[in-house]
Amino acid sequence: MIVAERKPLEEIKEMIAGYKRILIVGCGTCVTICWAGGEKEVGILSSQLRLAFGKDGNELLTSEVTIERQCEREMVEELRDKVQEVEAILSLGCGAGVQTIAEVFEETPVYPALNTKFVGMPEREGVWVETCRACGDCLLGETGGICPVVRCAKGLLNGPCGGTKRGKCEVDPEKDCAWTLIYRRLEKQGRLDLMRKYYPPRNFQAVTRPGKVEALQA
Amino acid sequence: MGGNNKIVAFCCENSACAAADRAGKIRLYYPDNVRVIRVPCAGRVDVLHILKAFEKGADGVLVMGCQEEACRHLTGNTRARERVKYAEILLKESGIDGERVRMVNLAPEMAHKFAQEVSEMTERLKGLGPTPIKNGGPQR
Amino acid sequence: MQVKIGIFLCDCGGSLRNIDFPKIRGNLEKLEGVAFVDISHNLCLEEGGKALASRILSEDINRVVIAACSPELCEHNFMRLLESLRLNPNFLSIANIREQCSWAHKEDVTGKALELLRMAINKARLLQPLERKEVPVNQEVLVVGGGFSGMESTLELSQLGLRATLVEKGSALGGKLSELEGFYGLGASPKEMLGSMTRAIEEGKNIEVLTSAEVTRVEGEVGNFTVRIRRGGEEFPRSFGAIIFATGYRAGILPRDFELRPSVNIISQRNLIEILQAPEKLERKPETIGFILDVSDESSRLATLLVLNNALAVKEKWGSEAYVFCRNLKVDSDGAEKLYREARATGIAFLKFEKKPQISEEDGRVKVEAKDVLLGEEISLSCDILVVEEKGLPPEGTEALSSILNIGLDSQGFYQNENVYLYPVDSGRKGIFLVGACRGDLDISRASMDVASAVMGVCELLASGKAIVEAEKVRVDPDKCRACLTCIRVCPHGAIRLVRVNTEKEVAQIYDLACEGCGICAAICPAKAIDFEGYTDEQILAEVEAIGE
Ligand SMILES: Cc1cc2nc3c(=O)[nH]c(=O)nc-3n(C[C@H](O)[C@H](O)[C@H](O)COP(=O)(O)OP(=O)(O)OC[C@H]3O[C@@H](n4cnc5c(N)ncnc54)[C@H](O)[C@@H]3O)c2cc1C
Ligand code: SF4
Ligand code: SF4
Ligand code: SF4
Ligand code: SF4
């Protein structure tokens, strides 16, 4: 699923400064599950905004709604009546959601309340880790179902670097070396010959990986 | 509500409610600006309840649950503690002093602690003055 | 249904003088949906109750708001009263104007009382009926672990007519009973005891024993657990209403406590017992034997028992000199004090240290140097054998089991059980009990007490074959649930599971009987899909709303 994180309130406030009526739209799928943009988070943001505006003596009318999936035009279409009553939309969907809303309601400005982080899975309650970088050329079939692109700190495709030490990564000794994991997994499957397979280099930009999002709430 | 240092106290019915009852029973005479809302466990309290209490004009919020390591529902009080911390962050983001919300752990017989916490929060609120929120702000 | 509220104000025999009741009545009568406001002096007495009942019936109200003493005192009775009038007991909302208002403040608190009432009224408007329903419970019980505690549980259950299945990991029953020679605080020797218990189990009714078997999965909830048991090569499911865990503990040495390498001269209690049982292993009788206890600061009940037992045994068998180095002796188990006196009387020396003794080996002997705090002197003892203390460690697989069961572990890796609100044998999950040494440092007499309370707990849940629950007090709205699993992960009582509603949709579902009504799930659900009747978001916020109106 897509993992996202709420933007700081300050930034959101700046984006919507000057509007008096906004619609806050949550997404009921990925971002609900990672505690970033579901009905509850919509309520929190909306409450925070009313407090912040009220404190400054400014009026802000917020209406709240959470739809099944923001990345579907037909589902976004249901918002039409509500959108007509507001000056701007604040979306708690991922980037795809924001863009779908913007496309459906071209005349109304849409602002993202979240930063979309990665494709990942829950590590435990309240913590999500990146497991796929959506690289577009999936090689999981040959790596024992462990993605080196994400889980290797250097994104190496042809075995570990010289920094692997007792199964840990030299970049972060807390983290497992992805290639050690791959080796072990392939060993279990009796497919160690795959370790010899060569992948030509790809071009990845410098990014810290794997990404991680920890919720502040409990 | 507004003004008068209104405190909303979310009280766990296994501990804090009993402590509050006891405080009355032994006539501890604490400030009368506190309103107890009974909850089955401090873990029932959602950050949204805290935020909305401020929206509706509360000047301070107390979340009162069982002693550390002695929660009737095992993790309710630790979750409440984390949520209060989170609420503090959210309130600060909105420009409201984080000191206006506080987690309190107490056992059912700790009437004095109940009274003391209410008095302390009242004093703190006097120092801070009323919240900048007039009356609930515009509602949806 | 139109909400029609009846309000009863009780002035507690006219004693709540800092509240102006007529003024409150005047104020509330005007509110929408309020049928009447009565002032009573004794709602909790028979007379007051009768008056209340007749008013409820004659005015045909459907919500009852009471301003009186603490709900902890009166709520239950008023609910029963409502029930007797065929009004849903959940249609009751109480304002505590006594303990938390009149009694708590000196000055006039009419204003506060009025606010408390408005809070209660706001909540009352939103209350929904709760139905009670009967659910059947499976009366079979699973007992895991065939040591003393497990066998005793099985026997007691069978005597009470409940069917018990005893699952033991090892090839035979007995646990520590079969490993140990001498036992104190028991009439019989461990072997005799094991013999008679085994016989009783063989002859007992409603008992099934599965040895060399293990539990691999536990699903479901109290009254209806599905357990997977592995035995030999096969794995099979079985259903039980309750589970008693009696997996005992494993004795071990904590190397970090000693910084010592076991050698021929530095041995464990277990080694000593082996030698005592087979003295031919020994070249010559040891003349001086040292025992050492509490090197790390926690003194343990069982370690103390063991040292006393063994020191006495070497004295008796070999006539050796025995010295016990300790920080504290924990003699609070049955018969331990007597044992200690006996040990002193036979000439065993007890030396009390505060600072960890120095231990060194030379010429095949062990030297222990310590400062005795009672004598105030440095003592140096050269002994043939030094016997180090053993600790109770959780049995292998405890961690795995705890995650299967969704039960926490304490800092030492034992099942978590220290909580003032829970009975020691409660696991935090209804229908799962923990007894005996798997909870830590327990001797036989304490283990028997555990067994008795767990068996009582099981009976309470299963004896009648059915249970009464408030149906869907805490409820997941299947249309709103996004199956994020959050609630399932956080429920402290393991009362939620994922159920399939159709081929593509799964949702969380709360099992009424296992739910203890804490509301943690309702507060955390990111989709706001969980409602807790009596404490819904709307009801809580309606109370907040009334403050300062
Ligand atoms: C050396 C020593 C001396 C002692 N001396 C005394 C004394 O003098 N007086 C006294 O009162 N007490 C004494 N005790 C304590 C006494 O032994 C225990 O209180 C008692 O035996 C505990 O019984 P139990 O059934 O709880 O555990 P155990 O006897 O440890 O039985 C646990 C059983 O569970 C089985 N098991 C474990 N895990 C699993 C699993 N996952 N699945 C299935 N089965 C499993 C084990 O194989 C074992 O059979 C002594 C203990 C020790 C270690
Ligand atoms: S909009 Fe984004 S978060 Fe929502 S369902 Fe689509 S991909 Fe998931
Ligand atoms: S290789 Fe890794 S990053 Fe690329 S698609 Fe597969 S899982 Fe995603
Ligand atoms: S927390 Fe809410 S959305 Fe998630 S599984 Fe539970 S009920 Fe469903
Ligand atoms: S109310 Fe508490 S016990 Fe009941 S299902 Fe929710 S979290 Fe579990």
Domains along the sequence of chain C with CATH: 5-130 (3.40.50), 141-249+394-466 (3.50.50.60), 255-389 (3.50.50.60), 472-532 (3.30.70.20)
DSSP C470: E
CB contact under 8 A, A47 and B138: no
pLDDT score of C261 more than 80: no
Give the class (CATH, top level) of B7-130.
alpha beta
Measured in angstroms, the CA of A209 and the nearest CA of chain C are apart by 25
Residues of B with Cβ-Cβ distance to A216 under 8 angstroms = 85-86, 89
The predicted pLDDT at position A207 comes to 53
pLDDT at C269: 82
Whether the per-residue pLDDT at C390 is higher than 80: the answer is no
pLDDT at B1: 42
Rounded average pLDDT over C191-220: 93
Considering only CB atoms, C484 lies closest to which of A33, A124, A218, namely A33
Asked whether the bond before A210 is cis by omega within 30 degrees of 0, the reply is yes
pLDDT in the model for residue C186: 60
| Model pLDDT for residues C48-60, shown as the tens digit of each residue | 999 999 999 999 9
C479 touches chain B (CB under 8 A): no
pLDDT over 80 at C185, yes or no: no
* Predicted local confidence at residue A37, as pLDDT: 97
Name, of A150-159, A170-179, B75-84, the range with top average pLDDT: B75-84
pLDDT at C491 over 70: yes
CA nearest to A126 within chain C: C486
Q: Give residue-wise pLDDT tens across range C83-125.
A: 999 999 999 999 999 999 999 999 999 999 999 999 999 999 9
pLDDT score at C30: 92
Q: Whose CA is nearest to atom 8 of ligand 3?
A: A132
CB contact under 8 A, B52 and C541: yes
Ligand 4 midpoint to CA A93 (Å): 18
Q: Which ligand is nearest to the CA of A134?
A: 3
pLDDT tens track for C195-206 = 999 999 999 999
Mean pLDDT for C475-497 is 95
- State the pLDDT confidence band at C529, using cuts at 50, 70 and 90: very high
Across C192-229, b (16+ Cβ under 10 Å) vs e yields: ebbeebbebbeebebbebbeebbbeebebbbbbbebeb
CB of C331 closer than 6 A to ligand 4? no
Tell me the DSSP string of chain A. Answer: -EEEEEPPHHHHHHHHTT-SEEEEEEESSHHHHTTSSSHHHHHHHHHHHHHHHHHTT---EEEEEEES-TT-HHHHHTTHHHHHT-SEEEEES-HHHHHHHHHHSTTS-EEE-EEEEEEEEEEETTEEEEEE---SS--GGGTTT--HHHHSTT--SSS--TT-BTTB-SS-TTSBPHHHHHHHHHHHTT-GGGGG------------SS-EEE-S--
Q: Is the pLDDT of residue C396 over 90?
A: no
Predicted ipTM of the assembly: 0.94
Q: Does C187 have pLDDT greater than 70?
A: no
Q: Do C20 and C8 meet the contact criterion of CB atoms below 8 Å apart? A: no
- Show Cβ contacts of residue C342 under 8 Å, excluding neighbours closer than 6 positions: C312
Return the domain boundaries, chain B: 7-130
Return the minimum-mean-pLDDT range out of B54-63, C69-78, C400-409. Answer: C400-409
The least confident of A196-210, C153-167, C426-440 is A196-210
The pLDDT of residue B138 is: 40
Residues of C with Cβ-Cβ distance to B6 under 8 angstroms: 547-548
Average pLDDT, chain A: 92
Q: Which residues lie with the beta carbon below 6 Å from any ligand 3 atom?
A: A 132-135, 138-140, 147, 149-150
Cα(C298) to ligand 1 centroid in Å equals: 20
Length of chain C: 549
CA C402–ligand 4 middle distance (angstroms): 23
Q: How many angstroms is it from B49 CA to the middle of ligand 2?
A: 27
Ligand nearest to the CA of C518: 5
Ligand 4 site, residue C525, Cβ cutoff 6 A: yes
Residuewise pLDDT in 10s, chain B (140 residues): 445 799 999 999 999 999 999 999 999 999 999 999 999 999 999 999 999 999 998 999 999 999 988 899 999 999 999 999 999 999 999 999 999 999 999 999 999 999 999 999 999 999 998 887 754 444 43
Structural domains for chain A: 2-119+127-136 (3.40.50), 152-196 (no CATH)
pLDDT in tens, C121-154: 999 999 999 999 999 999 999 999 999 999 999 9
Nearest CA to ligand 1 atom 48: C175
pLDDT average, residue stretch A58-77: 95
Q: Measured between alpha carbons, how far is C390 from C269 in angstroms, rounded to an integer?
A: 6
pLDDT at residue number B2:
41
Q: Alpha-carbon distance C497 to C532, whole Å?
A: 17
Indicate whether C167 pLDDT > 70.
yes
Interface of C with B in 118-147 (CB under 8 A): 119
pLDDT digits (tens, 9 = 90+) for A110-149: 999 999 999 999 999 999 999 998 888 889 999 999 999 9
Report for A196-205, C61-70, C341-350, C351-360: range of highest mean pLDDT? C61-70
Out of A9, A63, A218, the one facing B94 most closely (by C-beta) is A9
Q: State the chains in contact with C (3 or more Cβ–Cβ pairs under 8 Å).
A: A, B
Distance from CA of B84 to the nearest CA of C (A): 13
Mean pLDDT of C360-365: 82
> What is the rounded distance in angstroms from the CA atom of residue C71 to the CA atom of residue C484?
36
Q: Is the pLDDT of residue C450 over 90?
A: yes
State the closest ligand 4 atom to the C-alpha of C480, by its place in the atom list counted from 1. Answer: 3
Q: How close B30 gets to chain C, by Cα (Å)?
A: 6
Chain C residues close to B110, C-beta within 8 Å: none
Looking at A76-90, B95-109, C14-28, C300-314, which range is the least confident one? C300-314
What is the structure's pLDDT at B137?
Answer: 43
Residue whose Cα lies nearest atom 2 of ligand 2: it is A94
Is the CB of A61 within 6 Å of ligand 2? no
